Structure 1
Amino acid sequence: MTQLTAIHAAVKVLESEGVDAVFGVPDPSLAPLYDGLSGSSIRRLTARHGESAANAADGYSRATGRVGVCAGTLKPTDANLVAGLHTAMSDSVPLLAITAQTPPAHVDRHHLGAVDVGAVVRSVVKRSYLADRPEQLPWVLRDAFRLAREGRPGPVHVAVPTDVLADPIAYAPEADSPLRPHRIAPNPLAIERALDRLLAAARPLLLAGGGVVSADGAAELVELAELLQIPVLPTLMGWGTIPHDHPLYAGLAGVRVQTRAGNEALLDADLVLAIGARFAEHHTGDLDVYRGDRTFIHIDVDPTELGRVLGPDLGIVGDAKLALQALLEGARRRVGLGRNGNAWAARVPHRRAALARRDDHDETPIKPQRVFRELNRHFDAATVFVTAIDLYEIVSGQFQEAHQPRQHLIRGRSGPPGWELAACMGAKLGRPDATVVAIVGDRTTLVEELSVAARHAVPLVVVLLDAADRMDDPPDTGAFARRVERPDAIAAALGWAVETAERHRRPALVDVAIERTATRVAHPSLMVSCIPDARSAQSR
């Protein structure tokens, strides 16, 4: 049996799990981990603090579908990880956080920097493990990777006492391999009942949530929609599960991030089949309006999500991809090669055209709508976009186009200011051949994250919607910057940013001076949100 130190065995596990980057803050307590990584194929990325490391691992995971890995330090500052892990937990993103741990015997004996990290992070992870024996470490990591992927994905935490990292253990990497996550198949009778209701409905909708993306079920979703001629309404986390230019793409629904066509489609529907969606408040708004007299069928891999926000007429527990495959199989038995087109499905592209908002504004200061018009024109479907919270999130959802899963990475229910730049760096490292664009705004933490990306030679394109003249006196971050004050200069600036970032292997920022009064007020219900008021009428 091969003899390795516990930490070198851990590195072998990380490599076999497909990890090619670890984001963290080096510290003497984790020196054995970084020593082990230095002789491996895994790249080490130094973040400013624990939260940035977790956010970068988050972006990496969202962009690739793989488990993102971050490492923390042996100090109470590990609490910085909590915000990043909470974001991942809220949005079902699989992460592994590895932290050094004070030996258990010293945690409550006033040891310098002693803290029970597991107790700190336990509420924001699926599970916190303590590998307090060196022989445990590779097997604890195997289970952590399995759990991060299994069921509803999410972050897990492994704490390793500093006194076990360098101990030798018997471990044979060639005889070990990743554990396969269990995938829950839906109940066949429930699937048949769902099809009964779906085929009997006059105006059905397929509501695709982030669970469809996590389960890699977008192809089955579109095939089912085409077979049965049913419009698809993605949630914000499910954006891209059906291409923007598909005739059955109904738009987005919500009280903040929405299209008017999407809200109207949902309000007109008589049945909603939700797959991998959780009915978050910013999507539903007033539940009485959202529910109406519509029939709801809810499919989710997490049984505790059924009925949590909205009591379904039919609940089904199952993996989104397996459920969609079962629906497809049953639908083919019933309709053969498919149903003919219907008036409900045929209305989708006409509704979207009739309710589209204007984006061709030529005035100055620049309107944010015009920025997204230029983004849609300049970048193709292979580009990855990252954005987060506030105006730029709202206008992105109203105007931007998504053509495939994992193209638009956006925080759903959580995410502090600054998440998007660290996440953008992680996304670029996970998909180095893709152009990765961060769309940021007045609440984004720019300086420290741009300097980290520049130091690690990560060629990001950053578009700042600047309503506060933030870059009048730009700090020295190592990034390139260009200011844009006219709409007709946006396209050239985007081209400059892509070419400059790739040529110099550093971030390039386009600072777009937008109108100071730009805002999109969130209304309490979908019904209000899809009716143009005086403010939104000016932006059509």
Structure 2
Amino acid sequence: MILNGSQIVIECLKEQGVDTVFGYPGGTILNIYDELYKNSDDINHILVSHEQGAAHAADGYARSTGKVGVCMATSGPGATNLVTGIATAYMDSVPLVAITANVAKSGLGKDSFQEIDIVGATMPITKHNFIVKEIEDLAPTLRKAFKIAKSGRPGPVLVDITKDVTANKIDFESKKPEEIKRYSDMITEDDLNTVAEMIAASKKPFILVGGGAVISEADKEVREFAQLVDAPVCDTLMGKGVIEGTNKRYTGMIGMHGTKTSNFGVTECDLLLVLGARFSDRVTGNAKKFANNASVVHIDVDPSEINKNIKADASIIGDIKEVLVRLNKLVTPQNHEDWMKHIEEMKEKYPLDLDKSKLTGPAVIDSLYNITKGDAIITTDVGQHQMWAAQFYKYSRPRQLITSGGLGTMGYGVGACIGSKMGNKDKICVNIAGDGCFRMNMNEIATATRYNIPIIQIVINNHVLGMVRQWQTLFYGKRYSNTVLNDAVDFVKISEGMGAKAYRVTTVDEFEKALKEAIELNIPCVIDAQIDEDDKVFPMVPANTAISEAFSEEDLAARGYDC
């Protein structure tokens, strides 16, 4: 059948099973939006308040569902407003297709109105990108974009389409999407046997789970693997939910704000089994002092990650789920009773500090966990609240914590929460933000109210840029340069002005009452939770020091330091 380029875009989205698109229209992409209007029964479009919100919403949709998220924007500033969201997805290996429109082919390179080389601008932050200047290339390019976004190590792909291509016509034939197979070509019997032998020889093994295990949806295989190896398990921020937060083997997060048990245990272990993690500096601390007593086994789908930050003594390259299906058949059940007892003693000795006598970040997260029975999808912005969400909510499944790990994007959470809710309408979806983050993209609350998307926004409001202030307190002589936000901004009034139900709470009881009501109302709600400006995240590892140097507030007090 003969279709124009805009019709082809819509038909290709249908081929790929896309049911929701997040975006913002403009001049060059109007033809595509006209077709979206005609196909609104098949594809739901969410008009965001800002294009960055569209990218974050598509990202949240992708992370929480495992599907490819799709966002759209017009040329020039519309396209550049997607950049932060695309970079966020790139750093965390999120499958995303961003569709932008550009000026007509004849206007390229002439400084036309709202012209930008978005392909050049996004080249370093996409898995791949394209500019489509000919109608013949449109359908093959879109199909290739989805395949690239989903295959191997996922990532964002940008497709820029000139306006004339959206209007030109060509014969179109629908095609069934290619099957995406799990990457296993580089898994060898020798590598599998080597790792199985190292496991058999180990006395003190430790398993570190990263985001790759979430992407691979390998939770069943990881839990079986941990049982076979008889090892404790820690995770990175991106690896939450692969091992249940209530599992007796689980020791908590590793790294800068990881538990002492995880940091000390990894330092003491003789074999570190790393499943889909990239050894971020926030995980390793000083890389030269990381897991020096251990042989390191690194299992990852991306060969470029092997030996990039930490030298591996053995490695297996392939999809985590596929690797563990094979490896679990080779590993004979181990018994490390003394080691597991030692880890359990450390967990009892070094618990996370939770004080519910007053409203604090940890108290908010603990109440949220209890009231939602640990079943909510939690999105976060970036900062202290993000770390508290990682520490105190016990995640039971992959894709339950949706957060910006690699890029650390303030303003990520509201859009991501909208995207998560659109992909998981049966789940309670809660975004946790600090007041500094909420200021950045709180306009997306208007998106939630426009469509009555029942997200719950919790603002942990300490009237400062909390994480930066924490560093200023500990390492910069309490010189609070530009981190105090104690002004006249009223989040309750602003949220009500955008159509949301809003609460201000100052006690644990008030918070719990507001949260229960927000869940029952099932409408967009904002809870402004007021906490002390000097609440801090502990444990903490100073930058560029060994994770074995993790300290708590009690440690600082014992040294006579007033924080």
Report the 3-state secondary structure (helix = DSSP H, G, I; strand = E; otherwise coil) of the residue aligned with 2:159.
Answer: strand
Return the offset for 1:182.
5.7
4+ long deviations beyond 6 Å: 536-539
1:191-270 matched pairs, under 5 angstroms: 191-256=192-257, 258-270=258-270
Q: Structure 2 residue aligned with 1:358, among 329, 353, 356?
A: 353
Taking only the aligned residue pairs, the percentage that are identical comes to: 29
Aligned residue number for residue 516 of structure 1: 533
Looking at structure 2, the residues matched to 259 and 484 of structure 1 have their Cα atoms a distance apart, in angstroms, of: 29
Return the offset for 1:445.
3.1
2:214/2:399 contact within 8 Å kept: yes
Looking at structure 1, the residues matched to 453 and 277 of structure 2 have their Cα atoms a distance apart, in angstroms, of: 33
Q: Closer, same or farther in 2 for the Cα pair 1:472/1:464, shift >3 Å?
A: closer
Aligned residue number for residue 32 of structure 1: 31
> How many residues are treated as equivalent by the alignment?
525
1:59-74 matched pairs, under 5 angstroms: 59-74=60-75
Q: Closer, same or farther in 2 for the Cα pair 1:445/1:485, shift >3 Å?
A: closer
Tell me if 1:299 matches 2:299: yes
Deviations 1:124-157 (A, max 9, x none): 1011112222122121111111100111110001
Q: Structure 2 residue aligned with 1:471, among 484, 487, 490?
A: 490
TM-score (norm 1): 0.93
Looking at structure 1, the residues matched to 553 and 408 of structure 2 have their Cα atoms a distance apart, in angstroms, of: 29
1:10/1:138 contact within 8 Å kept: yes
Return the offset for 1:492.
1.4
Give RMSD over aligned pairs: 2.0
1:147/1:181 contact within 8 Å kept: no
Deviations 1:232-290 (A, max 9, x none): 2111101110111111112111113x122222221221111111100001111111332
Return the offset for 1:3.
2.2
Report the 3-state secondary structure (helix = DSSP H, G, I; strand = E; otherwise coil) of the residue aligned with 1:352.
Answer: helix
- Where do 5+ consecutive residues of structure 1 fail to align? none
Return the offset for 1:340.
4.5
Tell me if 1:481 matches 2:480: no
Q: Closer, same or farther in 2 for the Cα pair 1:203/1:341, shift >3 Å?
A: closer
Q: Which amino acid aligns with 1:328?
A: N
Tell me if 1:343 matches 2:362: no
1:5/1:165 contact within 8 Å kept: yes
Aligned residue number for residue 189 of structure 1: 190
Q: Which amino acid aligns with 2:421?
A: K
Report the 3-state secondary structure (helix = DSSP H, G, I; strand = E; otherwise coil) of the residue aligned with 2:231.
Answer: coil
Aligned residue number for residue 51 of structure 1: 52
2:203/2:336 contact within 8 Å kept: no
Looking at structure 2, the residues matched to 184 and 72 of structure 1 have their Cα atoms a distance apart, in angstroms, of: 36
Return the offset for 1:181.
4.7
Aligned residue number for residue 476 of structure 2: none
Q: Closer, same or farther in 2 for the Cα pair 1:177/1:372, shift >3 Å?
A: closer
Q: Which amino acid aligns with 1:57?
A: A
Q: Structure 1 residue aligned with 2:549, among 516, 528, 540?
A: 528
1:97/1:158 contact within 8 Å kept: yes
Which deviates the most, 62-71 or 529-538? 529-538
Looking at structure 2, the residues matched to 281 and 92 of structure 1 have their Cα atoms a distance apart, in angstroms, of: 17
Looking at structure 2, the residues matched to 19 and 432 of structure 1 have their Cα atoms a distance apart, in angstroms, of: 16
1:122-201 matched pairs, under 5 angstroms: 122-173=123-174, 175-181=175-181, 183-185=183-185, 186-201=187-202
- Where do 5+ consecutive residues of structure 2 fail to align? 464-485
Q: Closer, same or farther in 2 for the Cα pair 1:380/1:15, shift >3 Å?
A: farther
Aligned residue number for residue 15 of structure 2: 16
Report the 3-state secondary structure (helix = DSSP H, G, I; strand = E; otherwise coil) of the residue aligned with 1:19.
Answer: coil
Report the 3-state secondary structure (helix = DSSP H, G, I; strand = E; otherwise coil) of the residue aligned with 1:237.
Answer: helix
Aligned residue number for residue 428 of structure 1: 421
Q: Which amino acid aligns with 1:512?
A: A
Looking at structure 2, the residues matched to 196 and 189 of structure 1 have their Cα atoms a distance apart, in angstroms, of: 11
Which deviates the most, 391-400 or 320-329? 391-400
Aligned residue number for residue 399 of structure 1: 392
Tell me if 1:450 matches 2:445: yes
Q: Which amino acid aligns with 1:3?
A: I
2:385/2:433 contact within 8 Å kept: yes
Q: Which amino acid aligns with 2:444?
A: E
Looking at structure 2, the residues matched to 303 and 339 of structure 1 have their Cα atoms a distance apart, in angstroms, of: 29
Return the offset for 1:522.
4.6
Tell me if 1:417 matches 2:438: no
Which deviates the most, 259-268 or 350-359? 350-359
TM-score (norm 2): 0.89
1:96/1:144 contact within 8 Å kept: yes
Looking at structure 1, the residues matched to 507 and 141 of structure 2 have their Cα atoms a distance apart, in angstroms, of: 56
Looking at structure 1, the residues matched to 182 and 230 of structure 2 have their Cα atoms a distance apart, in angstroms, of: 32
Tell me if 1:438 matches 2:438: no
2:266/2:291 contact within 8 Å kept: no
